[in-house]
Amino acid sequence: MLFFKRKIERAYLKRRDEGKKELSQLSREEFEAEVREYKEKVELEKGDLPALFIGAFLAFWPILLFFLVIMVLMLIFW
């Protein structure tokens, strides 16, 4: 969440420094709206964590299986 806020702040400062957009109250309000929007996207619900672990396991099971096989082979042939 903090990463996205810093990313938006850098983009805001870059736009301001390049002169593409004048610094005004309206642009500051737009900036705050973007920060709120990213916060809403990043915040997790209470039930999301188990789904994230299951999704990560489904995505990375071949890699985990590879390392498990390597460890078993090392134990057998040690």
Q: What is the pLDDT of residues 53-73, one digit of tens each?
A: 888 888 888 998 999 999 999
Q: How confident is the model at residue 78 (pLDDT cuts 50, 70, 90)?
A: confident
Domain ranges of the chain: 1-43, 47-78
Q: Say if residue 14's pLDDT is above 80.
A: no
CA distance 8 to 31: 8
Give pLDDT, residue 13: 73
Q: DSSP H helical segments within 19-77, as ranges? A: 25-42, 48-76
Query: Using one digit for the tens of pLDDT, what is the confidence trace for 22-46?
Result: 555 567 778 888 888 877 777 766 6
